[in-house]
């Protein structure tokens, strides 16, 4: 039995909004996508009201799920700050303290849903994820320097910071400006170091990012993937949120990934988390391109002496055991930390140094694995 748009609207009319009127009359709904029994739309409200709307979102989702024939319902609550409620935005949407509603560029009904894994992103040959089982292992630092390594081996590269809970790409790249919109109302990624870069941190104030939960995360990331004028790219590197919870799984399922790279430190605990990451990508049939061991060994910035303080080599063994490629070892080195934290990543600031060479070698391995995909595109 095929689900109709009208059925969805009828159900939503039975849900009362915090404004005291039916949800369908509250002027908050994006266009509704119904495709193959799957229903997607967003409820767009002011950030200040978001908490009051969370239960309405949940009610709307259960109401839609109850329609015979509905196999999935994804309803996102997106929070936008009203113009004027924070520092005045230079551009509509992009600087408004929230993410623009997902509605603007939805394909007509019957086309693949923008949330579907099958929906490739026009112009991008391969989207790859950089993930870690937990925070603090250097995932973002690796994602940025790997993106630069891929650039150095001749690819056109973009970087999407999807770490919505703690976006660090603005800090690691020193980017302070907000993206502008083009004539099609798509955000133009910031161009830095020859990369096209987008981060939720360019769009939202920290406090706004914190109130985003559950489906809002996916909705925001979908918009950053699809409502951005990426142009022609060979690879888009996605810096994933750390961990292997529901948000990460949904992301891995819904972003059209051609592969994933797992970053781990050599410690046992980090490796256990990395294994979970691997299992997560395998579960959703995303090929794991390999494991990178970060903070692999300590290299003294003064004398260059190497110490294996974390029992270096754990990730290499783990990769062998699990049958995935081992991509390389990055030392724990002061230069990597200081360059990262000053917005001038090491591959860019010390291109002839030993660290840049390591990231480039990892980039070359990744490029070789993606060769077929890039050539086909
Ligand atoms: P994550 O994204 O996993 O939370 P980050 O990339 O933000 O981690 O890194 C956390 C901290 O560790 C940052 O201060 C960063 O500069 C530092 N760091 C990351 N990798 C290295 C490394 N190989 N050597 C030295 N410092 C590093």
CATH code at position 30? 3.30.300.130
- Dihedrals phi, psi of 77, to nearest 5 degrees: -100, 120
Nearest atom within ligand 1 for CA of residue 163: 2
Higher pLDDT, 249 or 203: 249
163 CA → ligand 1 middle, Å: 14
Is 287 found in the same domain as 223?
yes
- Dihedrals phi, psi of 119, to nearest 5 degrees: -75, 100
- Name the domain boundary from 65, 80, 95: 80
Average pLDDT, the chain: 83
Nearest atom within ligand 1 for CA of residue 295: 23
Is 327 found in the same domain as 279?
yes
Is 257 found in the same domain as 124?
yes
Domain assignment of residue 105, yes or no: no
337 CA → ligand 1 middle, Å: 6
328 CA → ligand 1 middle, Å: 16
Residues having CB closer than 6 A to ligand 1 are 132, 135-141, 168, 242, 294-295, 330, 332-333, 336-337, 340-341
Domain assignment of residue 170, yes or no: yes
Give the span between the Cα atoms of 188 and 223, in whole angstroms. 12
Give the span between the Cα atoms of 23 and 303, in whole angstroms. 66
Using alpha carbons, select from 138, 75, 103, 94 the residue that is nearest to residue 265. Answer: 138
Confidence at residue 214, expressed as pLDDT on a 0 to 100 scale: 65
Q: In terms of residue numbers, what domain contains 305?
A: 116-376
Is 262 found in the same domain as 137?
yes
Give the span between the Cα atoms of 51 and 126, in whole angstroms. 37
- Which helix (H) or strand (E) segment holds residue 160: the answer is strand 157-161
In the block, tokens 């700050």 appear at: 81
211 CA → ligand 1 middle, Å: 25
Confidence at residue 192, expressed as pLDDT on a 0 to 100 scale: 97
pLDDT exceeds cutoff 60 at 345: yes
Is 322 found in the same domain as 255?
yes
Is 323 found in the same domain as 268?
yes
For residue 272, CA distances in Å to 133, 151, 316 come to 8, 31, 13
Confidence at residue 77, expressed as pLDDT on a 0 to 100 scale: 78
Q: How confident is the model at residue 208 (pLDDT cuts 50, 70, 90)?
A: low
135 CA → ligand 1 middle, Å: 10
Is 12 found in the same domain as 143?
no
Nearest atom within ligand 1 for CA of residue 143: 6
Which residues, 6 or more positions from 219, have their beta carbon under 8 angstroms from its beta carbon?
42, 76, 77, 78, 99, 102
Q: How confident is the model at residue 180 (pLDDT cuts 50, 70, 90)?
A: confident
Domain assignment of residue 99, yes or no: no
pLDDT digits (tens, 9 = 90+) for 55-111: 898 899 899 989 999 887 777 777 665 444 433 332 323 333 333 333 333 333 344
Domain assignment of residue 103, yes or no: no
Domain assignment of residue 108, yes or no: no
Give the span between the Cα atoms of 101 and 121, in whole angstroms. 18
- Which helix (H) or strand (E) segment holds residue 329: the answer is strand 326-332
Domain assignment of residue 98, yes or no: no
Domain assignment of residue 336, yes or no: yes
Residue from 138, 139, 168 whose mutation best tests the ligand 1 pocket (most atoms within 8 A of CB): 138
Is 137 found in the same domain as 21?
no
pLDDT digits (tens, 9 = 90+) for 275-299: 899 999 998 899 999 999 999 888 7
pLDDT digits (tens, 9 = 90+) for 352-375: 999 999 999 999 999 999 998 998
- Provide the domain count of the chain: 2
Residue from 161, 237, 332, 337 whose mutation best tests the ligand 1 pocket (most atoms within 8 A of CB): 337
Is 329 found in the same domain as 244?
yes
Using alpha carbons, select from 363, 335, 361 the residue that is nearest to residue 350. Answer: 335
Residue from 340, 354, 358 whose mutation best tests the ligand 1 pocket (most atoms within 8 A of CB): 340
CATH code at position 304? 3.40.50.300
Is 313 found in the same domain as 188?
yes
Is 219 found in the same domain as 75?
no
The secondary structure of residue 25, as a DSSP letter, is G
Nearest CA to ligand 1 atom 12: 138
Nearest atom within ligand 1 for CA of residue 337: 16
242 CA → ligand 1 middle, Å: 13
Nearest CA to ligand 1 atom 19: 138
Give the span between the Cα atoms of 231 and 289, in whole angstroms. 24
In the block, tokens 């936008």 appear at: 80
Mean pLDDT along residues 41-51: 80
Give the span between the Cα atoms of 118 and 375, in whole angstroms. 19
Q: How confident is the model at residue 121 (pLDDT cuts 50, 70, 90)?
A: confident
Domain assignment of residue 55, yes or no: yes
Is 43 found in the same domain as 153?
no
Mean pLDDT along residues 8-20: 92
Cβ atoms 240, 139 nearer than 8 A: yes
Cβ atoms 292, 128 nearer than 8 A: no
Give the three-state DSSP class for 127.
strand
Taking phi over 0 as left and psi of -120 to 50 as alpha, with beta for the rest, 311 belongs to: left
């Amino acid at each position: 039995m095929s689900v109709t748009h009208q059925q969805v609207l009828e159900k939503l009319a039975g849900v009362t909004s915090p404004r005291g009127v039916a949800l369908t009359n509250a002027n908050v709904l994006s266009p509704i996508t119904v495709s193959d029994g799957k229903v997607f739309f967003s409820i767009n409200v002011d950030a200040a009201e978001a908490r009051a709307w969370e239960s309405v979102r949940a009610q709307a989702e259960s109401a839609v799920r109850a329609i015979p024939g509905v196999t999935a319902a994804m309803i996102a609550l997106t929070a936008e700050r009203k113009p004027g409620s924070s520092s005045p935005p230079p551009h509509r949407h992009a600087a408004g303290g929230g993410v623009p509603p997902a509605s603007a560029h939805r394909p007509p009904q019957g086309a693949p849903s923008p949330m579907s894994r099958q929906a490739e992103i026009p112009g991008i040959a391969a989207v790859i994820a950089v993930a870690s089982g937990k925070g603090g292992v250097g995932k973002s630092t690796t994602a940025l320097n790997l993106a630069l390594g891929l650039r150095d081996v001749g690819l056109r590269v973009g970087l999407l910071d999807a770490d919505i809970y703690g976006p660090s790409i603005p800090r690691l790249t020193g980017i302070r400006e907000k993206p502008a919109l083009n004539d099609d109302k798509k955000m133009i990624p910031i161009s830095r170091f020859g990369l096209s870069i987008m981060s939720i941190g360019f769009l939202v104030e920290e406090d706004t990012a914190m109130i985003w939960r559950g489906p809002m995360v996916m909705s925001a990331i979908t918009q950053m993937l699809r409502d951005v004028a990426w142009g022609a790219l060979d690879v888009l590197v996605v810096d994933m949120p750390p961990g292997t919870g529901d948000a990460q799984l949904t992301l891995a399922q819904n972003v059209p990934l051609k592969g994933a790279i797992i970053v781990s430190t050599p410690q046992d605990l980090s490796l256990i988390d990395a294994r979970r990451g691997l299992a997560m990508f395998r579960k959703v049939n995303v090929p794991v391109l390999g494991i990178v061991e970060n903070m692999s060994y300590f290299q003294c910035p003064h004398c260059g002496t190497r110490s294996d303080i974390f029992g270096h080599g754990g990730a290499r063994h783990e990769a062998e055991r699990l049958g995935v490629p081992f991509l390389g070892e990055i030392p724990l080195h002061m230069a990597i930390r200081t360059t990262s934290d000053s917005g001038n990543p090491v591959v860019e600031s010390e291109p002839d140094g030993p660290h840049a060479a390591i990231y480039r070698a990892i980039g070359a391995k990744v490029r070789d694995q993606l060769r077929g995909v890039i050539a086909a595109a």
